[in-house]
Structure 1
Amino acid sequence: MLAMILFSTSNYAQETSLSSRIESATKSLQTLDEQAKSCLDKLEQPASNQTITSCNLFLQSIDGALLADYLSNCELLKSWRDEYVSGEFNPQENSQANLALMRGIEYACGEGALQKRTEFVASTFNLLQGTPARTQMTNTTTRRIAELEFEKAANKERRLIQNRMLEQQQRTNLQIERQWNRQQNELIRQEIYRPSLPSN
């Protein structure tokens, strides 16, 4: 009974964590789209400091923490999705809840989600790229996105290597422990079956 309660609690905690990441990723897209629309609206008006402020905020979000957080959440969510699809999950888990999570992940982080789930981001970004005063900044932003994606992939690969090394070390330690136990058992058996010396 206790095991079932613990399993249910753990499963619920995982679902809650994944759901919160889906919500966070979706919120990031919404915020980015709102900033893009604000910038686009200002670009349609006579140039002003407000235009620069709005568009800089949008570009900084792409180049900064907002997009980085989005990519980080999606990396973890996609990793869970890949494990689920490959069958690396407990068959007793709530399949309906998992399917709901899968739909949420596809919506927030699926292929082309940044363009599909936003209305103004792509058009505003492309418009700013075509503006000479913004060319250098947007080129930097594009590089930053590529760097973030590369960094995420590199971190994932490093974790895989570290996990393999840890597993190998654990196997080695287990083999050493078993060998030591066998030696100790053999010494004990020898001690037990050693002929007693005749008493004087």
Structure 2
Amino acid sequence: MFTGIVQAAAELVAIEEQQDFRSHVLAMPGALREGLEIGASVAHNGCCLTVTGIDGERVSFDLMRETLRLTNLGQLSVGDRVNVERAARFGDEIGGHAMSGHIICMAELVEIDEAPNNRRLWFELPVSYARFLFEKGYIGVDGISLTIGEVRERRFCVNLIPETLARTTLGDRVPGDRVNIEVDPQTQAIVETVERVLATRASC
């Protein structure tokens, strides 16, 4: 489980390409490597990946075909940064919201509204996922736990404070970029349950 509180933006320092498969090597900050072992879970832009190798500050991860299809990780190049969060431990403070690290889709950044000490980003989701959007609900954007500010059909906005812009990669995003999306698991479960109940009643 993850909390959506990004701990660092780590640099991608090496990529090994194979058919429908990639290995990423991140330069992980020292504090995040403490106690890190092969097999541990680390979220990259919100996507849960498994540590496959540790060589000093260089930590390796494998990305399979489904990960490359569903997320923006396959679009990264050496020198890019990714939002990183270690898996939560029992007893940790949950400052964001409970997240699984399972990305459901990508959304496109379509508009940026600038204001003093604030930035509002508007994203557009695929039509089939718009039903999970609710104003003031939680959403994971590139691994960051955020509150939805407003919903307009399949578009939604989030409001970012300077700390979020400084700590994460969202400050570097420009219109046209695609971000990883994880909807709030509770919201998804409720919506899908209601849909099933209504479908069953309609068929009776």
The TM-score by the shorter chain falls in which range? under 0.3
Larger % of helix: which?
1
Higher Cα Rg: structure 1 or 2? 1
Q: TM-score, normalised by structure 2?
A: 0.24
Q: TM-score, normalised by structure 1?
A: 0.24
